[in-house]
Amino acid sequence: MIPTELTTNQTQQIEELAEIIRFHAPLVAFTGAGISTESGIPDYRGPQGLWTTGNAKPFTYDDFMNSTEARREWWRRLPAHLDEVEARQPNAGHLALTAIERAFVMLAIVTQNIDGLQQEAGSDPSRVIEIHGSSRMIRCTQCGERYLAREILEVYGDQPDPPPCPNCGGILKSGTIAFGEPVPQDALRVAFTVAQQAGVMLVVGSTLLVNPAARIPGIAKDAGAYLAILNKGQTGLDEIADLRVDAPAGQALTYLSERLLSSEPGY
């Protein structure tokens, strides 16, 4: 069924993409904030994004590491923040991407998102590479050990100050990457590797303006992959894309999954 919200040109583009994926696997997906806006999570650099409107308040890594009060404030706000994170539900775009993952040769879903919704939608966690970390996790800044935020709160939540790392005694912080904090090199290396192995790189909901994550689709293109971009508005790699679909992620991915899962190639 063709979604009524998609134009004839958009559906034709998506049908073309489905045929490309059928014959040029393996597939790697690269997702940004635009796939999660339909779950009620604001994006950053879209027309009404937090960065565009000036509503984003940068949280720097140095501030956190050098201020006991900043860490105490983070710990105080964590329960309500985690409740909000866990209340979000995957939307049609996440579910469609999971369906595609299960039906086709998808090496990985590389995401800039920190919401964990792709895993909540049923994607294999081992195939989801979170470049900017996860708001559902807590990480030690010293030994790198990662913990479920909910489990840490259950054990230490009645304390006024955040606990030290149970493994090494280091400083715990949110599992997301703060401003000024380096992107985890292990996640970046894996993302670069799968990008070089992709037959099709599908970008969904990203302006491709934040490096080093935004380099990943370009690496795939340089290695010979077909580069398809599905995003509302312009991106930093539009000029080198093989296909550019300007459409909402949920509607477009749902139609793409229907075409790919259909037993009949094309019409």
**Positions of E strands within 79-155:** 106-111, 128-130, 133-140, 146-148
* Cα–Cα distance measured from residue 41 to residue 165, given in angstroms and rounded to the nearest whole number: 30
Q: How far is CA 131 from CA 14, 16, 18, 21, 204, in A?
A: 27, 29, 26, 24, 15
* Cα–Cα distance measured from residue 96 to residue 91, given in angstroms and rounded to the nearest whole number: 9
Distance from CA of residue 214 to its chain's centroid?
A: 12
Query: Looking at 24, 81, 94, 132, which residue is catalytic?
Result: 132
* Cα–Cα distance measured from residue 201 to residue 206, given in angstroms and rounded to the nearest whole number: 13
Sequence-separated (6 or more) residues with CB below 8 Å from residue 207: 32, 45, 46, 231, 233, 234, 235, 236
The structure tokens listed for 114 are 């920190």
* Cα–Cα distance measured from residue 13 to residue 182, given in angstroms and rounded to the nearest whole number: 37
* Cα–Cα distance measured from residue 75 to residue 89, given in angstroms and rounded to the nearest whole number: 24
Active site residue 132: yes
Active site members? 132
